[in-house]
Structure 1
Amino acid sequence: MDTSRTARLFLGLNAAFSLLIGIDLVFAPAFAAELIFLEPAGWQTLVLRILGAGLIVFALDLILMATDRFVTKGQVLFISALDLGWILGSGALLIFANTLFSGFGAVAIVAVAVFVAVFALGQYFGAQRIVASLSQASVRSAGEKLLASVSRTVEAPKDVVWKVMTDHPRYADVADNISKVEIVAGNGEGMQRRCYGLKGENWLETCDLFDEGHAFGFRIHTEADDYPYPISKLHGEWSVVPMEEGSKFTIDIEATPKGNFLTRTLFKAAAKRQFRKVLADLADAWAARMEREARA
């Protein structure tokens, strides 16, 4: 369940509004100065252009937050606090420096502050609805590698969790990027399975770690002709440990991107958010099945 939707909606509206004003101030500061200020002065266009550049940077940051399903309550409240600072600053300008502004300028400052207040309130109340995901996913760079991990505690005994984790054909039911999984050969370490992507592409995966009831790992054969991702090496490890109440499973992924330094850097930047989403969704879907089977 996406509990951050309302907060991200208002973050997005805030971003669009800030970006629009920022672009206007950067590219037409002289025109804006004529409308806003009562008397012309040399410093006005420079100040407005700097303000516009700041708003554009602010808007770009908001766009990243608005498109991040895992945005935190604290992050959203911080933006609302910045918006409050804008509102208070606008009020201070109108009280202590009102002689600088034309009638239109004063109205424009008030109008902008009203819009900002709406965004701040929407973000604030939206932040109250945010609940941290039970699937704790993280992605980080380590040299040339990308390390991704997700953990989830479930109300299911270890044997049920292990049974679900090792039900390889039904792995496709919980992995959004896989349409089908077939066991090709073997069992335990050395076992091979074939995974199919959403467009029919397929690749082999070989089990290179198997600790009955605890953990298993797969090396993905990324050298397949139609392997769909720009990754030269990929390894995944799945494990489960018992808890006082239920169990905790973890998925660890280690990926090495293909290409030169620039393409690897761009891939890491783009993949971090996508990996986190894929792993969290996978863990959520797996947890639902594990708890359902534990109750059966």
Structure 2
Amino acid sequence: MSSSANAARRFLKMNSLFSVLTAAPLLLAAGMVAPLLFAVPVDWAAMALRGLGIGLLGFAGLVYALSRYRFVSRAMVHEIVFLDVLWIIGSVVLIAAFGQVLTATGVAIVAAVALVVAFFAISQFLSAARIERPVPVARVEMRDGTLHAIVKRRVRAPVATVWDVMTDHPGYADVADNLSKVEVLSGDGLGMTRRCHGPKGESWTETCDLFEPGQAYGFRVHTEAADYPYPFADLSGRWRVEDHPEGAAFEIDITARLKGNALSRWLFATMAGPQFRTILIDLADAWAARMEREAGLQADNKAVAGE
């Protein structure tokens, strides 16, 4: 992860903390804050300030969640910058056009908060401009009620080596953070059955339903099993490799249909999307490192044999 991404995440976290600190007095002491801000406080002023405080807490939660995301992107940071800019514009309009409704203290408070928000907006924007995209290209999206998670990765290794590593099923657990063990139960190629074990002791079986030697294979997860631990009605994966000028390129394509109603599926996909993307990027990087290491060992062995 680049230092610029770390910087963006730090500013997002600071922004989140400042939003909480700003919201706290609005929620806990709106009746005392209203006379400080407004020259002639109206009855609904305290209620309006509490509503603003609730909105700020929601904003703080969103910003904090982004600050925890390892692969935060420029677009994600820019969305927060846009919201910060809206706050700044609103503050300027409030002071310039409706300044008479504020006390001198109120004008100072609104201006001071806007200046701090401007600092965060500028800092976030500048740090986001230097964020480098991860080498793996990963995408997670919902289409027609189905979750699609795809990652593509270039690798400096020949296709044959990449294929050998991809089809080393027990070794899959060494590079996948969401797996502790993979064991082949029966078969080889099409129809092969393997059992995957999660880090918390959960397990499930998968059957190979696609096999194109040297090119692609796929597995269907037995989500219908009584002991299947995840909220998927259907889940399948496709692994592919092809030639690339750098050596080879592989792709992992996960398709999942979630259980539950439309709202629960949407909520799960929204919350799980970043996690899926992180898992896929980490997997692709770890797999690529192993493939390139194997290619290096093979090249060394050939060199020794030639000598």
Change (3 A) 1:58 1:293: same
8 Å Cα contact 1:193-1:205 kept in structure 2: yes
Structure 1 Cα separation of the partners of residues 191 and 219 of structure 2: 9
Structure 1 Cα separation of the partners of residues 123 and 186 of structure 2: 55
Instruction: Give the Å deviation of 1:10.
Output: 1.6
Change (3 A) 1:88 1:284: same
State how 1:68-147 maps to structure 2 within 5 Å. 68-80=69-81, 82-84=83-85, 86-87=87-88, 90=91, 99-147=100-148
Deviations 1:20-60 (A, max 9, x none): 43464467544322012334457855765665465445434
Question: Is 33-42 or 228-237 further displaced after alignment?
Answer: 33-42
| Letter in structure 2 aligned against 1:106 | V
Structure 1 Cα separation of the partners of residues 201 and 55 of structure 2: 46
Structure 2 Cα separation of the partners of residues 91 and 39 of structure 1: 20
Deviations 1:248-281 (A, max 9, x none): 1111111122344454344333322222221121
**RMSD, matched Cα:** 2.9
Question: Is 263-272 or 193-202 further displaced after alignment?
Answer: 263-272
| Letter in structure 2 aligned against 1:76 | V
Structure 2 Cα separation of the partners of residues 288 and 67 of structure 1: 25
Instruction: Give the Å deviation of 1:145.
Output: 2.3
Question: Is 251-260 or 174-183 further displaced after alignment?
Answer: 251-260
Note the residue ranges of structure 2 that are not aligned, 5 or more in a row: 298-307
Structure 1 Cα separation of the partners of residues 294 and 238 of structure 2: 23
Question: Is 217-226 or 91-100 further displaced after alignment?
Answer: 91-100
Question: Identical aligned pairs, as a percentage?
Answer: 49
State how 1:245-264 maps to structure 2 within 5 Å. 245-264=246-265
Instruction: Give the Å deviation of 1:198.
Output: 1.3
8 Å Cα contact 1:2-1:69 kept in structure 2: no
Change (3 A) 1:102 1:261: closer
TM-score, structure 2 as length reference = 0.82
Structure 1 Cα separation of the partners of residues 145 and 83 of structure 2: 36
In structure 2, what is the equivalent of residue 189 of structure 1?
190
Note the residue ranges of structure 1 that are not aligned, 5 or more in a row: none
Structure 1 Cα separation of the partners of residues 268 and 84 of structure 2: 33
Deviations 1:199-250 (A, max 9, x none): 3332222111110110000111224443321223211110011112222111
Change (3 A) 1:62 1:70: same
| Letter in structure 2 aligned against 1:199 | K
| Letter in structure 2 aligned against 1:157 | P
8 Å Cα contact 1:86-1:113 kept in structure 2: yes
Change (3 A) 1:145 1:92: closer
TM-score, structure 1 as length reference = 0.85
State how 1:24-35 maps to structure 2 within 5 Å. 24-25=25-26, 29-35=30-36
Instruction: Give the Å deviation of 1:101.
Output: 3.5
In structure 1, what is the equivalent of residue 212 of structure 2?
211
Change (3 A) 1:45 1:175: same
Structure 1 Cα separation of the partners of residues 165 and 285 of structure 2: 13
Instruction: Give the Å deviation of 1:287.
Output: 1.4
Instruction: Give the Å deviation of 1:103.
Output: 3.8
Deviations 1:167-218 (A, max 9, x none): 1111001111111111222211111222111133322221111101100001
Question: Is 180-189 or 223-232 further displaced after alignment?
Answer: 223-232
Q: Are residues 1:276 and 2:297 paired? A: no
State the aligned residue count.
296
